[in-house]
Structure 1
Amino acid sequence: MLDNLAALVAASFLIALSPGPGTALVLRQSVRGRRGALATVAGMEVAVACWAVAAALGVSVLLTASEVAFHTLRIIGAVFLVHLGVKALLSAGGRTPPTTEEPTTRAFRSGLIVNLANPKLGVFAISFLPQFVPADGAGKGVLLLFALVWVLVDTLWYLVVVSVLHRLRTWLSRPRVRRTLETASGGVLVVLGARLVLTPRW
């Protein structure tokens, strides 16, 4: 059991390291302020927890069985990513990048929607978590425990990212740097949104 848990922690950490919509969104929020970035992480992890628990309980299997549900979520997620990306690009295009921090409720909602409207996260949870359950595991109880571990590791990683970016706040506050980061994160979000639509289901 401990070996399986250690393998899960290591794999979860490697997955968290891989860049994706969440990383781009946290970077964009960190440029504006720490509270918004933390609220974004909270929203993202609530969504990850929903997918993880759904996978542990077998609910997300319905997603793989329903073409309509999968593609509906995929389109919603893609549109929202593009929307966030375009906002960032428009913001970067201004003469002076905005210095006001986004309200925490809006930041939380952005993080929640980005991960909740990503059907591939649900499909990934279905294929990822069961791999680490011991042959003599206690079924759903062990899966729920492992789902919690996955969420905790993912949360810790993003908290480290936010902490590091906060320490660089003085440098990030420079208009030229802010504009560059807004442009980079906006472009990444638009590309990821387009890829979510164009990439075939797996």
Structure 2
Amino acid sequence: MFVLIPSQQYLSKLDSILCNTTKFQQITRDPTLSIIRKVNKIIDAVNARRDGLHLQKITGDFRPGYIYGNVKTHKDDNPLHHIISQIPTPTYHLAKTLNAIFTPFVHTEYCFMSSLPLLKIEEIHLRELLRICTQEAAFRCPRGKLYQQIDGVAMSSPLDVLFANFFMGSVEKEVFNRSGRPPIVRPVRRRHLREDHQL
């Protein structure tokens, strides 16, 4: 679906999102090169451990990501749902690697997946890489200004679902420890429904 709105209205709605200084910080310099140097230094330290994890160093040409908004047509005044694309940033593929590393440790006791304990991140290097991937990657707004998201995880980041699952898993564990685990009804397969219908 295409939604057409005046460009000034679109920019104004994005400006109102970015003016939240608890979530976003305007910056004056492109941090891309310093992020590459910082991350590669940490990766060297991680890779120096022979029996540990091996990460690929960041090489190539990168630039800040960009923010855009999808119009919420079902809400009054049609606010924007902002999305920050981090695909052009130097930490995008690193974030995908970290997501693959940490996903098996998400607390899934109350899901249909196998249960694993919630990971306690004690490795200082991996914790710092997660912080850089979620808070230091810069992005441009349509007006050309540079920002960083300083709180939360940007939607479209490879880590957004991971952190959401971590959070919900810990909430579920706390709530169900107090109130008891609710019964989980597994969905009935369609084949069985067809057989029952024929009977």
The TM-score with structure 1 as length reference comes to: 0.29
Greater relative contact order, per chain length (Cα 8 Å cut-off, separation 6+): 1
Which protein has the larger Cα radius of gyration, Structure 1 or Structure 2?
2
Bigger fraction of residues in strand: 2
Q: Which has the higher helix share?
A: 1
TM-score by length of 2: 0.30
